[in-house]
Chains A and B, each alone.
Chain A
Amino acid sequence: MKIFVPRDAAARAVGADKVAAAIAEEAEKAGLDVTIVRNGSRGLLWLEPMVEVETPAGRIAFGPVKRADVAGLVAAKFAADHPLCAGRPEDIPFLKRQTRITFARCGVIDPLSLDDYRRHGGGRGLERAQSLGAAATVEEVTRSGLRGRGGAGFPTGIKWKTVADTRADRKYIVCNADEGDSGTFADRMIMEGDPFLLIEGMAIAGFAVGASKGYIYIRSEYPDAIRTMERAILLWPIDGFDLEVRVGAGAYVCGEETSLLESIEGRRGQVRAKPPLPAHKGLFGKPTVINNVLSLTSVPAILADGAKHYADLGMGRSRGTMPIQLAGNIKHGGLFEAPFGLTLGELVEEIGGGTASGRPVRAVQVGGPLGAYFPKALFDTPFDYEAFAARDGLIGHAGVVVFDDTVDMLHQARFALEFCAIESCGKCTPCRIGSTRGVETIDKIRRGEKVEANLALIEDLCNTMKFGSLCALGGFTPYPVSSALKHFPEDFRRPLPKAAE
């Protein structure tokens, strides 16, 4: 009997290792012959640890499985009438509604089996790129309409073309796997669940622009992803393309591309002024493609199945699919890959099932700590780069964090500024000083001191940070602050609670 127990960090965080050990132990006691595969996660995170059993009718899922459930499950030989049985994973509505392109294999295969990877269609993208030639590969990525999945949404093909057209003795591919935004975990999931996909995406990029060396910069908070990628690189050496993992050291700002490059070079992660663009002068001063994990992992399918197949999905200028991450206080949290265009309300209420606490949804932060807080009144906003921008928000790396009605939005605005103060690289003044002055001013508002004057001051400060900062950390911190002020004004004008007796 073949049994799948995820090795994904989120599954391990809720006991998957204990469940896997218990299955082995109980099966031995019962004389049941089992093979345990540690797969990635399917992304139905409320069901983790989700155990799957291979049957003649396909795989059957059980979840969430606790250590204490295992003896009963083994005794019942994982029969489909067990109360924890969730049926075929593909039939669970959360998965059934998705269009999985980037995450097609995640949770299905053994992440470190190259045979499994190839059997499930892996490697075809690189083969097609090699048969098309470098220039046509860049053209294919451009035609797919793929835009940078890290948040900025810059067209990937144009970035590649710039590097391809720049002459140099050496070029680099850098993968930004410094996924620091709260509410996001797609990079982590794909690196842990389908690491060869990232290798293939980077190899295609290297082939397309003429780079023979790639770096994957992974944050130190992701030890599982680091281990998995390092092992995968050894298992799949690519001719003429050398890959190396570099580990971050706990600085959020290193997710900004130029400070990431500084960090790989061995310096403080301070932002570089642009120009020059990294595409002209990037890592070690050489032309560099720096792309997010999700951009690079979208590329193999674009090459394998053609640009049109990908570009036919989506809305407006947002083409293809987006792996959306539903997180925070949400009933059905997890990874939801779908073409652009679903509304925020559909995502949170229909797909996510509302809050985990059962209380009403009050605010949703989209795009990480630098993203805006949206109230329910904006739930008709479609998931699309331009639609969110038109409402003073951003989709960023597509993390969606749900808050119920117990949230205090003044506290959230204060946190956004405090986080910016902790993580600022210190290079530019609006970010370094503005964030601290912002926290102090919010504290005055909390104490009821000159509330209206201080609110005006915060708005003014937000403008200064937005237009005067060198990078998105200082430049986008105003999004959560201004949106909290705009959509939840009542939280900033509360009478002071009486001092405790």
Chain B
Amino acid sequence: MPAAWNEARAQEIVRRHEGRLGALLPILHELQAEFGCVPPNATRLVAEALNLSRAEVHGVVSFYHDFREQPAGRHVLKLCRAEACQSMAGETFAEKVLKHFGLDWHETTPDGRLTIEPVYCLGLCATAPSAMLDGEVMGRLDGESLDDIAQAVGR
């Protein structure tokens, strides 16, 4: 469970990277790991610490697909949509999963349980189609895998 925003804790994370060259991405990763997202408060704080403008920090946060400005659901499922998975009917599998949870890409269930996102390649291209649930890899997905996913997220 990500922690609620805490200015002192965020300061501590930023300070740990003091003097490091190119510290912005490592700081953003760590803030997101702690708080589940990079909230607007963090943008200001990081900008001050690294002597950047808030626009520059916001520009970086919004450029990279990984960084969020709002927290995701409690579980995050990333389904691979790239070519190798397409060749093994990954799109059909993805449609089934989305339908099961009543979601479209990038959406979160109303109870905040699950967010589904596309990913373009997990490097599991000979065991396709593949996915990642809460950072754990899954391959050779089939009907049974949908049951496993549903069980893991409790729906």
Contacts and interface: CB of A to CB of B under 8 A. Distances in A.
Contacts of A425: 63
Interface stretch (B1-9, B82-90, B94-102, B108-116): B82-90
B87 A404 contact: yes
Instruction: Name, among A185, A412, A423, the residue most crowded by chain B CB atoms within 10 Å (CB to CB).
Output: A185
Interface in A243-296: 246-252, 263-270, 284
B87 A10 contact: no
A12 B86 CA distance: 21
A330 interface: yes
B126 A46 contact: yes
A45 B86 contact: no
A267 B26 CA distance: 12
Given A13-B130, A246-B26, A263-B25, A402 B87 contact: yes
B94 to A, nearest CB: 13
A48 interface: yes
Given A13-B127, A246-B25, A327-B128, A266 B60 contact: yes
B65 interface: yes
Given A13-B137, A251-B63, A328 B122 contact: no
Instruction: Name, among A269, A327, A334, A356, the residue most crowded by chain B CB atoms within 10 Å (CB to CB).
Output: A327
A78 to B, nearest CB: 24
B127 A14 contact: yes
Given A10-B139, A223-B135, A403-B87, A326 B60 contact: no
A181 B82 CA distance: 9
Given A263-B25, A269-B63, A328 B139 contact: no
B138 interface: yes
B149 interface: no
Interface string B119-155: 1111111111010100111111000000000000000
A182 B126 contact: no
A333 interface: yes
Contacts of B137: 9-10, 12-13, 224
B139 A415 contact: no
Given A265-B22, A403-B87, A184 B29 contact: no
Contacts of B136: 12
Interface string B7-26: 00000000000000111111
B66 A45 contact: no
Interface in B43-88: 50, 56, 59-60, 63-67, 82-88
A85 interface: no
A188 B26 contact: no
B contact face: mostly helix, strand, loop, or mixed: loop
Contacts of A122: none
B85 to A, nearest CB: 7
B120 A182 contact: yes
Contact of A327 (B50, B84, B140): B84
Instruction: Name, among A183, A269, A325, the residue most crowded by chain B CB atoms within 10 Å (CB to CB).
Output: A183
A266 B24 CA distance: 5
A180 B121 contact: yes
Interface residues of B, number: 42
A106 to B, nearest CB: 14
Given A246-B26, A266-B23, A401-B87, A180 B120 contact: yes
B31 interface: no
Instruction: Name, among A188, A250, A284, A419, the residue most crowded by chain B CB atoms within 10 Å (CB to CB).
Output: A250
A248 B22 CA distance: 13
A142 interface: no
B42 interface: no
Contacts of A402: 87
Instruction: Name, among B64, B88, B119, B139, the residue most crowded by chain A CB atoms within 10 Å (CB to CB).
Output: B88
Contacts of A419: 82, 120
A222 interface: yes
A184 B123 contact: yes
Given A185-B123, A327-B126, A250 B65 contact: yes
A365 interface: yes
A249 B128 contact: no
Interface string A354-395: 001000000001000100000000000000000000000000
A183 B139 contact: no
Given A365-B83, A402-B87, A403-B87, A249 B25 contact: yes
Contact of A182 (B25, B28, B125): B125
A284 B21 CA distance: 9
Contact of A179 (B21, B123, B130): B123
Nearest to A406: B89
B28 A249 contact: yes
Interface of B: 21-26, 28-29, 50, 56, 59-60, 63-67, 82-88, 119-128, 130, 132, 135-140
Give the 3 A-B CB pairs with smallest separation, nearest first.
Answer: A333-B126, A266-B24, A13-B139
15 contacts: A9-B124, A12-B136, A46-B126, A179-B123, A184-B125, A250-B119, A263-B25, A266-B60, A268-B63, A328-B125, A329-B88, A401-B87, A403-B87, A404-B87, A423-B120
Given A10-B137, A182-B82, A423-B120, 16 more contacts: A9-B137, A13-B127, A14-B139, A182-B83, A182-B84, A185-B125, A221-B121, A246-B26, A248-B66, A252-B120, A263-B25, A264-B22, A268-B63, A333-B126, A407-B87, A412-B83
